[in-house]
Amino acid sequence: MPIEISARRRRDIVDALRRGVVPSSGLDALAVGLDRFTAALDDDLDRVAGGGSVFKAVRGEYGSGKTFFTRWLAERAKRRGFAAAEVQISELETPLHRMETVYRRLVEHLSTEQFSPSAFRPVLDGWIFALEEDALAGGVIAEDDAAALDRAVGDLLERRLGEISRSTPGFAAALRGYRAATATGDHHLADGLVAWLSAQPHVAAAARRAAGVKGDLDHYAALSFLRGLLTVLRDSGHQGLLLVLDEVETLQRVRSDARDKALNSLRQLIDEIHAERFPGLMVVITGTPAFFDGPQGVQRLAPLAQRLATDFGPEQRWDNPRATQLRLPGFTADALVELGTRVRTIYASPAVEARVNDDYLGILARAVTGALGGRVGVAPRIYLKKLVAEVFDRVDQFPDWDPRRHYELTLRADDLTEVERNAAASADDIELPI
């Protein structure tokens, strides 16, 4: 499979795999078995770009590639002009029932194809520039007429944020204050207002007074701020926003009262999305089958269970990619070998190409899988880490090093995730020579 990818991105991908983490870009080159989802997901992105809103739930066991899937989707979305943000749900840092915290994390992790997190301020600056360009486009206002331009931009701002201004006037007021602060070079005030718009706590009172805003965000105001952000993204040339709420299954382990609040918040968010109250938004959550089907997860709240209900048959090949829930197929032994061949191509070393053939990739894949109790779905991360850091790197650097003679696979407890350690504990605790 030809992979058109720059040398720098190749290095970034290989370095990430060497460290055992999901690369931040170039994921199309590693996407094995995801072709079946692309047409339906591209249709969803088209709908969002047209002013609609979409909700999707991705289910898969630990190690099945949920994080890879959502980052792969985010990369596709950003190439199409979307902004994206990945928020890790947790009881202490980002509880799902406190939307003001979710919104804050969204802004902190906001990225676009041009800007890495946080892209919030570049988005605001791009929006202000777009307003000025629109105000000048009619040819009535001269570029050097600062007062007239200021009035015209202010009028545009109010019209485009009219609905949000009625429910959350502070958002428009803070944006107006931010535009004025940047125009006058008051960077301290601009920083304070960006922090307030980002739902950061403890914003200086002077900054809030200058813009005529009060207090901090609560749950309901955060939803209005999210609508305001979607408006800003659209007016600054972006197609929409992809928001990933990752590790939602952690709700199963929180106190019952907090869990019930979070599940109800998720139900409310789904209803808001289906009612098209967030035009330009696609929300994707991830969770394990136990979260969607077990008594401590979605099934605990009947209305939520009804909204997410999806009938999965015994054969995954007949799963409907347009359904609300998507079931990740997980890895097979053959898919693991195919992934190894793709990484070998990305590594782009003549020595590796010559001395690490497909047969050896299969040998290593079977060894790693065997060391993890035969659980192929748990194997990809550690397989790729061992393949890059312990095989490819040595073959590339030492001409007389032969992985068949000089390498034996060992799994250290401190090198494994909790799920990988549990899988390894089910296998014989011995070193596996390959």
Q: Are residues 353 and 321 in the same domain?
A: no
Q: Are residues 38 and 177 in the same domain?
A: no
Side chain identity, residue 210: A
Q: Are residues 251 and 205 in the same domain?
A: no
Give the other-Cβ count within 10 Å of 271's Cβ.
14
Specify the pLDDT at position 430. 45
Q: Are residues 190 and 215 in the same domain?
A: yes
Q: What is the DSSP letter of 409?
A: E
Q: Are residues 249 and 395 in the same domain?
A: no
Q: Is residue 347 part of a domain?
A: yes
Q: Is residue 285 part of a domain?
A: yes
Which residue(s) pair with 281 in the sheet? 53, 241
Q: Is residue 12 part of a domain?
A: no
Q: Are residues 105 and 133 in the same domain?
A: no
Q: Are residues 191 and 135 in the same domain?
A: yes
Specify the pLDDT at position 140. 77
Specify the pLDDT at position 427. 53
Q: Are residues 321 and 354 in the same domain?
A: no
Give the residue from 224, 248, 279 where a domain finishes.
224
Q: Which helix (H) or strand (E) holds 233?
A: helix 219-235
Give the side-chain half-sphere CA count within 13 A for 33: 21
Per-residue tens of pLDDT for the chain, all 434 residues: 445 688 888 999 999 999 998 888 888 888 888 889 999 999 999 999 999 999 999 998 877 788 889 999 999 999 999 999 999 998 888 999 999 999 999 999 999 999 999 999 999 999 988 888 888 887 778 877 778 888 888 888 888 777 777 767 888 889 888 988 988 899 999 999 999 999 998 888 888 888 888 877 888 889 989 999 999 999 889 999 999 999 898 898 888 999 999 999 999 999 999 999 999 999 999 999 999 999 999 999 999 999 999 999 888 889 999 999 999 877 788 989 999 999 999 999 999 999 999 999 999 999 999 998 888 878 889 999 999 999 999 999 999 999 999 999 998 888 888 878 888 876 555 454 45
Q: Is residue 210 part of a domain?
A: yes
Which residue(s) pair with 55 in the sheet? 283
Give the residue from 275, 292, 327 where a domain finishes.
327
Q: Is residue 25 part of a domain?
A: no
Q: What is the DSSP letter of 426?
A: T
Q: Are residues 131 and 214 in the same domain?
A: yes
First to last CA, the chain: 27
Closest CA to 293 of 283, 284, 285, 304: 304
Specify the pLDDT at position 434. 52
Q: Can you give the residue range of the structural domain that contains 246?
A: 33-112+238-310+317-327
Q: Is residue 13 part of a domain?
A: no
Helical residues (DSSP H) of 109-204, grouped into ranges: 120-137, 146-160, 162-167, 169-184, 187-197
Q: Provide the b/e sequence for 339-348 (b: ≥16 CB within 10 Å).
A: bbebbbbbbe
Q: Are residues 323 and 343 in the same domain?
A: no
Give the residue from 184, 202, 224 where a domain finishes.
224
Specify the pLDDT at position 1. 42
Q: Are residues 94 and 124 in the same domain?
A: no
Q: Is residue 67 part of a domain?
A: yes
Q: Provide the b/e sequence for 391-419 (b: ≥16 CB within 10 Å).
A: bbbbbbeeeebebeeebebebeeeebeeb
Closest CA to 274 of 53, 46, 96: 53
CATH number at residue 242: 3.40.50.300
Q: Are residues 178 and 266 in the same domain?
A: no
Q: Which helix (H) or strand (E) holds 86?
A: strand 83-88
Q: Is residue 28 part of a domain?
A: no
Closest CA to 86 of 62, 63, 56, 108: 108
How many domains does the chain contain in total? 3
